[in-house]
Chain A
Amino acid sequence: EVQLLESGGGLVQPGGSLRLSCAASGLTFSSYAMSWVRQAPGKGLEWVSGIIGSGGSTDYADSVKGRFTISRDNSKSTLYLQMNSLRAEDTALYYCAKGGLSGSFYMDVWGKGTTVTVSS
């Protein structure tokens, strides 16, 4: 069974930084694309960033481009999201989601999320 476990959330001041992690198990991690998706309190889902299995290509939503960096360590089966210059509007529950094999486009397994609060 594929499992994803996010960590690293917390309270940070505006302008601060945070690094989220997502530990994966039950899969050949390097074979799958991965994404980060967030949900602000009481709001809908927002895709944040994605990365292919090799780590060689990344994509970002306009709302975080230039501030967030997605990466992965396939030897540790772990996905990361480095978040810099955080704003109040980045406050959300951050989920990691497993994508498909190369050439497949979907997100099918989700973690339970980690909460990020940006506030002074």
Chain B
Amino acid sequence: QTVVTQEPSFSVSPGGTVTLTCGLSSGSVSPSYYPSWYQQTPGQAPRTLIHSTNTRSSGVPDRFSGSILGNKAALTITGAQADDESDYYCVLYLNSGIWVFGGGTKLTVL
């Protein structure tokens, strides 16, 4: 069974840069997994930030960027702001037609 891994929690200082990662329990993440990233605050639906590795969704500021770093997908937030404090989820597309979400990263800005 494929498991998608994310850091459970991360903290960043206001104005700082943070990189969240999304890996596989076995194997490497590549663009063929079409990694996407979502931001979710309590009580709200997920907001799409990045899809297809590095395509920013409409209206998403360029402080958010996606990439492949080593064997993982990565979401980098530059110039962190207080309202970036959220849960961040990645999802990978398996060739079998199945999507698998990571467990999410709780980002604290302090």
Which A residues are in CB contact (< 8 Å) with B101?
A: 37, 44-47
A104 touches B38 (CB 8 A): no
* In the complex, per-residue mask of B32-61: 1 if CB is within 8 Å of any chain A CB, else 0: 001010101000011110011001010000
- Which candidate, B9-17, B20-28, B77-85, B88-96, is the interface stretch facing chain A? B88-96
How many residues on the B side are at the interface (Cβ–Cβ under 8 A)?
26
Any B CB within 8 A of the CB of A101: no
A107 touches B45 (CB 8 A): no
Among A45, A50, A61, A106, contact of B46 (Cβ-Cβ < 8 Å) = A45
Which B residues are in CB contact (< 8 Å) with A27?
A: none
* In the complex, per-residue mask of B90-110: 1 if CB is within 8 Å of any chain A CB, else 0: 010100111111111000000
| Nearest CB of A to B110, in Å | 22
How many residues on the A side are at the interface (Cβ–Cβ under 8 A)?
23
- Which candidate, A16-24, A73-81, A109-117, is the interface stretch facing chain B? A109-117
B89 touches A50 (CB 8 A): no
A104 touches B52 (CB 8 A): yes
| Nearest CB of B to A103, in Å | 11
Number of A-B contacts (CB under 8 A): 59
Given that A44-B101, A47-B98, A59-B97 are contacting pairs, would A111 and B45 also be in contact in the complex, using a CB cutoff of 8 Å?
Answer: yes
CB nearest neighbor in B for A58? B97
Which A residues are in CB contact (< 8 Å) with B103?
A: 44
| CA A57 to CA B100, docked complex, whole Å | 18
Which B residues are in CB contact (< 8 Å) with A35?
A: 99
Which B residues are in CB contact (< 8 Å) with A108?
A: 48, 51, 57
* In the complex, per-residue mask of A30-61: 1 if CB is within 8 Å of any chain B CB, else 0: 00000101000000111100100000010101
What would 16 A/B residue contacts be, using CB atoms closer than 8 Å? A37-B46, A44-B89, A44-B102, A44-B103, A45-B101, A47-B100, A57-B97, A61-B98, A62-B1, A106-B34, A106-B51, A107-B48, A107-B91, A110-B45, A110-B48, A113-B45
Leading 8 A-B pairs by shortest Cβ distance: A106-B51, A59-B97, A47-B99, A105-B34, A44-B104, A105-B93, A45-B101, A110-B45
Seen from chain B, the residues whose Cβ lies within 8 Å of a Cβ on chain A are 1, 34, 36, 38, 40, 45-48, 51-52, 55, 57, 87, 89, 91, 93, 96-104
